[in-house]
Amino acid sequence: MFHTKLCDILGIKYPIIQGGMAWVATAELAAAVSNAGGLGIIGAGNAPASFVRQQIRKARELTDKPFGVNVMLMSPFVEEVMDAVCEERVSVITTGAGNPGKYIERLKSLDIKVIPVVPSVALAKRMEREGVDAVIAEGTESGGHIGELTTLALVPQVVDAVNIPVVAAGGIADGRGFVAAMALGACGVQIGTRFICAVECTAHENYKKAVLQAGDRDSVVTGRPTGHPVRVLKNRLTRQFELLEKNHAPVEEFEKLGAGKLKAAVVDGDVEYGSVMAGQIAGLVNEIKPAAQIIQDILGQAKVVIEKVRGMI
């Protein structure tokens, strides 16, 4: 059911990639998603290579299925993290927050699949030319660092512009979103926010509760003046960001306020003054359940949705 080209390329059962959320996407979550037939991803975020290496080894103990690492290209440790994923020969690398061009040749020579997140048609085309295996077209509905286009506008335009598989991301958390992504021409989906509320996700319970309680309008985009906008759930920290914006504060002030705040929320559970990154679809996430159940529910709903649409013809 729902076998696509992406499944063949990655050696997975279902075309569902778990978002590589920094601090949230640990070995435990990645292994659970991979064991359930999707592609689990370890989020490297801003962590040093030693942490990423330890997470890869832990994931290998928890699953014999393929899994990947998301390399955040703005990380101060990006070079050593790339060395580590190459040495460890992980199956797949997804990248975020930049252009992975200079790493592609080396990764490909080691037979590591490369799937960058792209926020535009231009970057998708460039990545295809440089030999990546697929792209993730991520809409502005997503949590964390975002581009400007919505998933509904971005995905079909990227699909028409490239000949490699396109994975849709941003605002997808159930079977309706899954089918919508396929209708736009995607070969798979990347799902982040829904997996925050997986049983196996090691994020602090306060973080999970914040996502469970969030409604449709509870996320906001901070840091636009820095050129690196980030979608997070509204709290005391986002009000401080709003003040900086109102006062046209220098970029350094934004950076100072944001430093260490994601870890504070995810690891320490400070959901008032921490950065609670989550997508607009958080309002649809109302239950903590095992990753395998999340995936099976999405696929089951997708089947029902397709039957319903068929009945309209």
Contacts to ligand TUI by CB under 6 A: 22, 45, 72, 74, 96-99, 117, 119, 123, 138, 144-147, 228, 230, 277
In angstroms, what is the minimal distance from the CB of 176 to ligand TUI?
A: 23
In angstroms, what is the minimal distance from the CB of 196 to ligand TUI?
A: 13
Given the complex with ligand TUI, which of 99 and 213 has the nearer CB atom?
99
C-beta of residue 206 within 8 angstroms of C-beta of residue 269: yes
| Token pair 């605002």: residue | 171
Given the complex with ligand TUI, which of 138 and 200 has the nearer CB atom?
138
What is the C-alpha radius of gyration for the chain, rounded to an integer number of angstroms?
Answer: 18
Taking CA atoms, 109 is separated from 51, 69, 86, in Å, by 24, 17, 10
In angstroms, what is the minimal distance from the CB of 276 to ligand TUI?
A: 12
| Token pair 């048609």: residue | 121
In angstroms, what is the minimal distance from the CB of 83 to ligand TUI?
A: 20
Residue closest to 186 by CA, chosen among 208, 162, 205, 202? 162
What values do phi and psi take at 76, rounded to 5?
Answer: -65, -15
| Residue 181 to residue 188: CA distance in whole angstroms | 7
What kind and span of H or E run contains 80? Answer: helix 78-88
Identify the burial level of 72 via C-beta atoms within 10 angstroms of its C-beta, where 0-12 means exposed, 13-18 middle and 19 or more buried. Answer: buried
Give the three-class secondary structure for 207. Answer: helix
Given the complex with ligand TUI, which of 81 and 230 has the nearer CB atom?
230
Given the complex with ligand TUI, which of 107 and 305 has the nearer CB atom?
107
Given the complex with ligand TUI, which of 38 and 43 has the nearer CB atom?
43
In angstroms, what is the minimal distance from the CB of 30 to ligand TUI?
A: 16
Given the complex with ligand TUI, which of 84 and 124 has the nearer CB atom?
124
Write a three-state SS string for 137-190: EECCCCCEECCCCCHHHHHHHHHHHCCCCEEEECCCCCHHHHHHHHHCCCCEEE
Given the complex with ligand TUI, which of 135 and 182 has the nearer CB atom?
135
In angstroms, what is the minimal distance from the CB of 193 to ligand TUI?
A: 12
In angstroms, what is the minimal distance from the CB of 282 to ligand TUI?
A: 15
